A and B are shown apart, each in its own frame.
Chain A
Amino acid sequence: DIQMTQSPASLSASVGETVTITCRASENIYSYLAWSQQKQGKSPQLLVYNAKTLAEGVPSRFSGSGSGTQFSLKINSLQPEDFGSYYCHHHYGTPWTFGGGTKLEIK
């Protein structure tokens, strides 16, 4: 199975800052990488798929990049509603696997 390694596990940042979360796949997954956001007590929501395509309604301050085994999610000018947990997962064949998650907290 493809292993997904996400870093950092936690991140503290202030409103207005720019942050980057990275995800590494154990083998080439081309661009089959997605990012989801989960707020406390809520179901996850899709942010990015195919490594860089924003899901409908996702603000443009979010951007995804990467291919092969190295990927990143960048959030420009953090807003209060951006705090929560972020997960990458690959969608290159099955079984799908998630990264361990990144908890983004307010500084």
Chain B
Amino acid sequence: QVQLKESGPGLVAPSQSLSITCTVSGFSLTSYGVHWVRQPPGKGLEWLGVIWGDGSTNYHSALISRLSISKDNSKSQVFLKMNSLQTDDTAMYYCARGGLDYGYCFDYWGQGTTLTVSS
């Protein structure tokens, strides 16, 4: 059964860096892409980036200088790293699988992990 689960620090101080892990099960990271999406409190969804099965990556244009997505196929983990955090980075962060049978759209989502950027 396909599952994704995010884990992160919860609270980070402004100007610091963030690392969130998405641990997956039920599928291989070499076959599927994994996307990162965030949602500020009370607001809409924002696509952050994707790491494809072959390890290539694509990023949100405005965040490309601050974002890095990587993975460890053997551990079934995908990592989101973001630097120079500001208060408007406060959001729920989701990882989602890109379904091969769904035009690579998000067929499974994690439950999300909340990040608060505050001093």
Distance from B88 Cβ to chain A, minimum over Cβ atoms (Å): 16
Known: A50-B103, A91-B103, A95-B60. A43 touches B109 (CB 8 A): yes
Q: What secondary structure prevails in chain A residues at the interface with B?
A: loop
Known: A43-B94, A43-B110, A94-B50. A87 touches B45 (CB 8 A): yes
**Residues of B in contact, count (CB < 8 Å):** 25
A49 touches B102 (CB 8 A): yes
A45 touches B47 (CB 8 A): no
Give the interface of A toward B (CB within 8 A). 1, 32, 34, 36, 38, 43-46, 49-50, 53, 55, 85, 87, 89, 91, 94-101
A-B contacts, 11 listed (Cβ < 8 Å): A36-B45, A43-B112, A44-B106, A45-B109, A46-B107, A49-B105, A89-B105, A91-B105, A94-B50, A94-B58, A98-B45
